[in-house]
Amino acid sequence: MRAASVSDFRELARRRLPNIFFEYIDGGSYAEVTLRRNVEDIEALALRQRVMRDMRELDMSVQTLGQTLKMPVGLAPVGMAGMYASRGECQAMRAASAAGVPMCLSTVSVCSIEEVAATGTAPWFQLYMLKDRGYMKSLLERAKAAGCPVLVFTVDLPLPGSRYRDVRSGFTGGTALQQALTQAKDGILHPAWTWDLFMRGQPHTLGSVQDAVKEGSRVTDFLAWIARNFDRSVTWADIDWVRQHWDGPIVVKGVLDVEDARAAVKAGAQGLVVSNHGGRQLDGVRSSISALGPIAEAVGGDLEVYMDGGVRSGLDVLKALALGAKACFVGRAWAWALGAGGQPAVARMLDIIRAELAVAMVLTGCNNARDAGRELIDRA
């Protein structure tokens, strides 16, 4: 099947990936109410079709935090992407760079900061507040040395949400032996993935935190270390600590409330991502798109406002721009594409979003992505 949409990449990834890894990226927390809301609330928004507007000139580019993006889209941080395709984060970075959009590298990536930066383009770097401040400081130093232009500080994960699919698939829970047997069976049933990952994709560690973990070498050992090191005591005052060790732009990721957005401004952030962690943390909260408008209205003049969660097409991107986002970050979309076919599939996914965004802009009379506003949403 040749993918024509983001949902097609999801199906292709489902066929190619072992069940444990497909369910890990595809699922949300608890009953997945927020996961569904993210998509459904964007779908419920209607664009306002306008015609006869002279759309010969079309400009999708946006400027943000000292960078020019060829379209208002970026790749959101996705953990363990290097388990979906050989050296997956590097493949995704190359696709993003060719498309002229940023990629944000997860703390829990298989490929290290340095390996991804060696592709020729340094990623934005995503960081959690960890109890081990010494290791956090070293990560910030490494990100700076690698040339990462932006730090994305994720604040909505003081502890991991409960993800039922991961338990059912055997990815979490059970004994180490049970997990190993499940993973071995999954690998045997997916030979193309096994060949790609185990012949060309090793080592399978979380590269950026590899030195911190002494008690094991499996991916699950690294994830367990991260989970133990999430810091529940973090407050807005801790942004000051981050600023002491990072002199570039800071983007706070995981904001859904207007008061928290105002707090991010007071803390000195240069941007924020309206996000509920893709429906993977606190289930039952509002969708990202429903929170976007009020937050953009409250603080959009003070910092850059981005959004992630539920974005599945270029049409969705334009809806988010209309409600005040400077750009959208897609997570599952690129993870599915990577799992479906590596770098070429990620590049194809970005091309699809670009083409869809062009149609949406032309048929709403929006010549310039920077001028998108609420007038593009049909209020009837």
Instruction: Tell me whether residue 277 is one of the annotated catalytic residues.
Output: yes
What is the C-alpha separation between 178 and 128, in angstroms, rounded? Answer: 30
Let me know how long the chain is.
380
Cβ-contact 33, 183 below 8 angstroms: no
Task: Dump the DSSP string for 137-171.
Answer: HHHHHHHHHTT---EEEE-S-SSPPP-HHHHHHTS
Angle between helices 33-44 and 288-299 (to 10 degrees): 70
Tokens of 347: 């590049």
Q: Tell me which of 190, 204, 245, 277 is the catalytic residue.
A: 277
What is the C-alpha separation between 108 and 110, in angstroms, rounded? Answer: 7
Task: Dump the DSSP string for 243-269.
Answer: HHH--S-EEEEEE-SHHHHHHHHHTT-
Consecutive H or E run containing 315: helix 314-322
Burial class of residue 66 (count of CB atoms within 10 Å of its CB; 0-12, 13-18, 19+)? exposed
Tokens of 232: 């529940």
Counting runs of H as helices and runs of E as strands, what totals does the chain give?
A: 15, 10
Residue 59 backbone phi and psi in degrees, to 5: -125, 110
| Residues with Cβ within 8 Å of residue 16, at least 6 apart in sequence | 190, 192, 193, 339, 340, 341
From residue 362, alpha-carbon distances to 34, 316, 368 in Å are 31, 15, 10
- Reference 63, options 319, 326, 267, 280; nearest CA is 326
Cβ-contact 304, 350 below 8 angstroms: no
**Catalytic residue numbers?**
277
